[in-house]
Amino acid sequence: MRKLAHLTAFLVVLLAVGGAAIACESNPASSPDESMVRDYADTATETCLQGLSDHDLVKYTEHANAEFKAAVTQEVLDTTATQLDNQLGAYQSIEFLRIEEQEGYVIVHYRASYAKGEVGVRMVFDEDHLIAGQWFE
């Protein structure tokens, strides 16, 4: 549990560095069209989580904005991926839960399945549909 807390803390810092530190309260009235969001978010999230599991920085940041890419080094990725792998095992799949929009960002909530369990994942996308942040819950 402590490792997951460290991983979560890292990702919160990463999100803040990426310029996407935003409140996480749902606002259904401002939710964007689900099918349009899922067209980019599902693929980007799958690629990102698979890249994390594979310790593959290029794959992990393939759909990320410049700030997100600048905040993640191979060393940071390896440390995070190792902690995640030790606790949850290899990445398997995601299940879409819901979307919301706040302060110009689209937040997509997923349940990610790993070999040893499941975890909530919040993916934050900027106006260009690029990953601006990521949280594990």
Q: Is 129 left (phi over 0), alpha (psi -120 to 50) or beta?
A: left
CB 135 within 8 A of CB 126: no
Cβ–Cβ < 8 Å for 77, 6: no
pTM of the model: 0.79
* Fold adopted by 2-136: Nuclear Transport Factor 2; Chain: A, (3.10.450)
Domain limits of the chain? 2-136
Tens digit of pLDDT at every position of the chain (137 positions): 555 544 544 554 444 444 443 333 444 445 679 999 999 999 999 999 999 999 999 999 999 999 999 999 999 999 999 999 999 999 999 999 999 999 999 999 999 999 999 999 999 999 999 999 999 99
Helices (H) and strands (E) in the chain — how many of each?
Answer: 5, 4
